[in-house]
Structure 1
Amino acid sequence: MKKSKQKRTTIPVHKLQERTSLGIQIRNFVNFNRHDMRKLGAHRDDHYILIIQEYGYSHVNIDFKTIAIKGCAAFFILPGQVHYVPESEETAGWFMAIDSSLVDKSYQQVFEELALHQQTLLVSTEKVAQLVRCAALLCDMFDNDGQALMPGTVIHSLASAYVGIFAALYKSSNPEKDKQQLRPEIITSEFRKLVSSQFKTLKNPSQYADALSLSLSYLNEVVKAVTGFPVSYWIHHEIVLEAKRMLYYSDLTVKQIAFSLGYDDHAYFSRLFSKVAGVPAVQFRKDYRE
């Protein structure tokens, strides 16, 4: 008798604390091992991932978007994004995993602002060489077993410099906006972070305005000016994105997913999903799993 396939009820979360107590892991890679990639499968991380590719060709799928990485390039993955690598050919480069608490808020803001239209960044060989030197120096601060050979403060300082260079490359590829927009950008960033952490409990735009001590009209005005979309769009975007992840990567029913996302009325959730995603939840699962 065949054993029944075990139901998937959650998306695996890889925790950096289980691999290192320093909040940083860095390593060089030459050709991703396909067996290891399949073994990893689709998952989330509770930390940032920064990758520099020195040469080669690969694909990474991040939240239902496939990104091609060619030649000298950089890309990042935010904490919580579901991702996997379906293809990789003759690649080499450097991988860094770093705890969010070690990433300066200004650097976090750079990555978060680019996440909606997340793309790889083509990098000059000179800039890649600069990052590679920094990564190699960081790597030298650990022994073969991953144990630190230098004080944590030294390692963290160099890691912060590495992340800073990485963020600066992305920032320079997107010309800075007028300084008058600084406050709106800060408010929008705080709003997006709040949505990311509270979307299961806070569903109403006015709740976010209250949490940020702002009027709803002003919050809407600011968020729309910076992102092009109103407050309600981002709340629904986060809810439906998480629902898509659960529909694809777990075997929970639509009703179970609705409850896990904070909806007592699963019929209302189904209507919301259809409106935002353009297809019913069951159809989305069928289409993406075929």
Structure 2
Amino acid sequence: MVDDDLIEMHDRSVYFILPGQLRYHVDSQTESWILAVNASFLQEGLRLKLNEHYYGKKPVPLSQKKAERFTQCMRFLAEDLQHPLYKFSGLAVRKGLIDVISGMITEEYAVGTSDRQGEHSRFAAITREFKELLLNNFKKMKKPAEYADALSLSTPYLNQVIKASTGFNVSFWIQKMIMNEARVLLSASLKPIKEIAHELGYTDQAYFSRLFSRTQKISPQGYRLIKQAQLPWTGKKNKKTLFSG
């Protein structure tokens, strides 16, 4: 489960989530690996490319050869974390392994996009800039005009570009980001709803509650009660989790 979405991974595949997304493990029928890494450890180019695929991303299948290489790198990292052999260069070795693993994952998401973007490179560039801006500013920038101004574009043109690229307009994505974060905060914390509203940029708790209720078809408090009763916060024995950073 990632936020409110059930993600099913079949055969050999990879999947990534962003910082702040709520994740918990439901079930595994095979061996799986999880690498939890501080975003600052990722190369800037890889991080930006992964951010481009945040919208509508799905698990990506791997060939058997790529899956074997991926598993070898993960096992190497796991062994080094559990039984370090490198003293002077230990951090560099781990950083190198993280670069390799994140590079392989990014490659799977990025493959083929350059060719498809050729014909619409202007739209692709604007959409990429909008996504990055939204990810970093959705708590304080709530209006399409604010994003258009930041990108030195007119609001109608920005809406045209984003709808052509993603199928939805700017307002849809702003609201989606806010509601995603709201659901995470309601599920994973005991913060008062008023505090959550302020954290998301709303000084009026009543307005935030009405917005949440209208878009999610349930009140913030009702959603919290349901989700906190559902979250298991447990994993399976055959799930390996690596924490680096």
Q: TM-score, normalised by structure 2?
A: 0.77
| Correspondence 1:191-230 to 2 at 5 A | 191-230=130-169
Higher helix share: 2
Instruction: State the secondary structure of the residue aligned to 1:62.
Output: coil
Alignment partner of 1:85 is 2:25: yes
* CA spacing shift, 1:105–1:130, aligned 2, 3 Å: same
How far apart, in 1, do the equivalents of 2:82 and 2:186 lie?
41
Shift of 1:135: 4.2
Please name the residue that 1:28 is paired with: none
Q: Among residues 81, 85, 89, which one is paired with 1:150 in the alignment?
A: 89
Please name the residue that 2:181 is paired with: 242
Structure 1: which 5+ residue stretches go unaligned?
1-60
Instruction: State the secondary structure of the residue aligned to 1:240.
Output: helix
| Correspondence 1:102-251 to 2 at 5 A | 102-136=41-75, 144-145=83-84, 150=89, 156=95, 159-172=98-111, 176-251=115-190
Q: Which moved more, 1:102-111 or 1:159-168?
A: 102-111
Please name the residue that 2:7 is paired with: 67
Shift of 1:110: 3.8
* CA spacing shift, 1:255–1:137, aligned 2, 3 Å: closer
Amino acid across the alignment from 1:164 = G
Shift of 1:286: 3.7
Amino acid across the alignment from 2:14 = A
User: Larger relative CO (CA 8 A, sep 6+): 1 or 2?
Assistant: 2
Q: Which moved more, 1:215-224 or 1:280-289?
A: 280-289
Amino acid across the alignment from 2:25 = V
How far apart, in 2, do the equivalents of 1:151 and 1:250 lie?
35
Q: Which moved more, 1:253-262 or 1:135-144?
A: 135-144
How far apart, in 2, do the equivalents of 1:108 and 1:195 lie?
15
Q: TM-score, normalised by structure 1?
A: 0.66
Contact residue 20 and residue 181 of structure 2 kept, 8 A = no
1:44-64 C-alpha deviation (Å, 9 max, x unpaired): xxxxxxxxxxxxxxxxx2112
Shift of 1:128: 0.7
How far apart, in 1, do the equivalents of 2:81 and 2:222 lie?
49
Contact residue 21 and residue 181 of structure 2 kept, 8 A = no
Instruction: State the secondary structure of the residue aligned to 2:119.
Output: helix
Amino acid across the alignment from 1:73 = S
Contact residue 142 and residue 149 of structure 1 kept, 8 A = no
Instruction: State the secondary structure of the residue aligned to 2:202.
Output: coil
Shift of 1:179: 0.8
Please name the residue that 1:269 is paired with: 208
Q: Among residues 17, 35, 52, which one is paired with 1:96 in the alignment?
A: 35
How far apart, in 2, do the equivalents of 1:183 and 1:102 lie?
30
Please name the residue that 1:22 is paired with: none
How far apart, in 2, do the equivalents of 1:140 and 1:178 lie?
40
